[in-house]
Amino acid sequence: MHSTRAVTTIFAAALTAGVLAACGNGAGAGSAPTAEQTAAAAADNSGLVIYSGRNEKLVGPLLGKLEQAVGAPVQVRYGDTAAMAAQILEEGDNSPADLFFGQDAGALGALAKQNRLAALDAQTTGQVIDGYADENNLWVATSARARVIAYNPATAPEIANATSIDVVLEPKYKGGKIGYAPTNASWQSFVTALRVTKGEDGARDWLTKFKAQEPRAYERNGGVLEGVESGEVDLGLINHYYWYAKVAEEGDAVKSKIRFLDSEDPGALINVAGVGVVAGTDQSEAANKAVNFLLSKEAQTYFADETAEYPVIEGVTSKHDLPDLSTLKKPAIDLNDLDSLPQTLELLGQVGLT
- Summarised one tens digit per residue, pLDDT across range 291-306 is 999 999 999 999 999 9
Say what the pLDDT of residue 230 is.
Answer: 97
Residue 34's pLDDT band, with cuts at 50, 70 and 90, is low
Q: Is the pLDDT of residue 81 over 50?
A: yes
Say what the pLDDT of residue 280 is.
Answer: 95
Q: Is residue 160 part of a domain?
A: yes
End residue of a domain, out of 253, 268, 283: 268
Q: Is the pLDDT of residue 164 over 80?
A: yes
The residue segments making up the domain with residue 30 are 4-144+272-324
Residue 45's pLDDT band, with cuts at 50, 70 and 90, is low
Q: Is residue 115 part of a domain?
A: yes
Q: Is residue 264 part of a domain?
A: yes
Q: Is the pLDDT of residue 30 over 90?
A: no
Same domain for 308 and 167: no
> 132 Cβ partners below 8 Å, 6+ apart?
140, 141, 144, 272, 274, 312, 335
Same domain for 137 and 282: yes
Say what the pLDDT of residue 342 is.
Answer: 84
Same domain for 134 and 259: no
Residue 36's pLDDT band, with cuts at 50, 70 and 90, is low
Same domain for 140 and 105: yes
Same domain for 244 and 227: yes
Residue 326's pLDDT band, with cuts at 50, 70 and 90, is confident
Q: Is residue 22 part of a domain?
A: yes
CA–CA separation, 35 and 100 (whole Å): 18
Same domain for 278 and 131: yes
Return the CATH number at 260: 3.40.190.10
Same domain for 259 and 153: yes
Give 246 or 10, the one with higher predicted confidence.
246
Q: Is residue 68 part of a domain?
A: yes
Q: Is the pLDDT of residue 27 over 90?
A: no
The average pLDDT across 153-163 equals: 97
The average pLDDT across 332-349 equals: 90
Same domain for 9 and 120: yes
- The closest alpha carbon to 244, from 186, 325, 321, 327, belongs to 321
The average pLDDT across 18-23 equals: 35
Name the phi and psi angles at 328, rounded to 5. -75, 130
- The closest alpha carbon to 164, from 194, 188, 141, 134, belongs to 194
CA–CA separation, 312 and 309 (whole Å): 9
Q: Is the pLDDT of residue 266 over 90?
A: yes
Same domain for 104 and 18: yes
Same domain for 287 and 252: no
- The closest alpha carbon to 149, from 252, 224, 63, belongs to 224
Say what the pLDDT of residue 279 is.
Answer: 97
Are 79 and 49 a contacting pair, CB within 8 Å?
no
Ordered DSSP codes for 7-71: HHHHHHHHHHHTTT-TTTTS-SSSSPPPHHHHHHHHH--SSEEEEE-S-HHHHHHHHTTHHHHHT
Say what the pLDDT of residue 11 is.
Answer: 52
Q: Is the pLDDT of residue 42 over 60?
A: no
Average pLDDT taken over every residue of the chain: 88
Q: Is the pLDDT of residue 65 over 60?
A: yes
Q: Is residue 338 part of a domain?
A: no
Q: Is residue 353 part of a domain?
A: no
Q: Is the pLDDT of residue 309 over 90?
A: yes
Q: Is residue 334 part of a domain?
A: no
Q: From the annotation, which residues make up the binding site for Fe cation?
A: 241-242
Say what the pLDDT of residue 211 is.
Answer: 98
Q: Is the pLDDT of residue 264 over 50?
A: yes
Q: From the annotation, which residues make up the binding site?
A: 241-242
Q: Is the pLDDT of residue 109 over 50?
A: yes
End residue of a domain, out of 268, 284, 311: 268
Q: How many structural domains comprise the chain?
A: 2
* Confidence (pTM): 0.84
Q: Is the pLDDT of residue 18 over 50?
A: no
Say what the pLDDT of residue 276 is.
Answer: 98
Same domain for 237 and 163: yes
Q: Is the pLDDT of residue 329 over 50?
A: yes
Same domain for 99 and 163: no
End residue of a domain, out of 243, 268, 293: 268
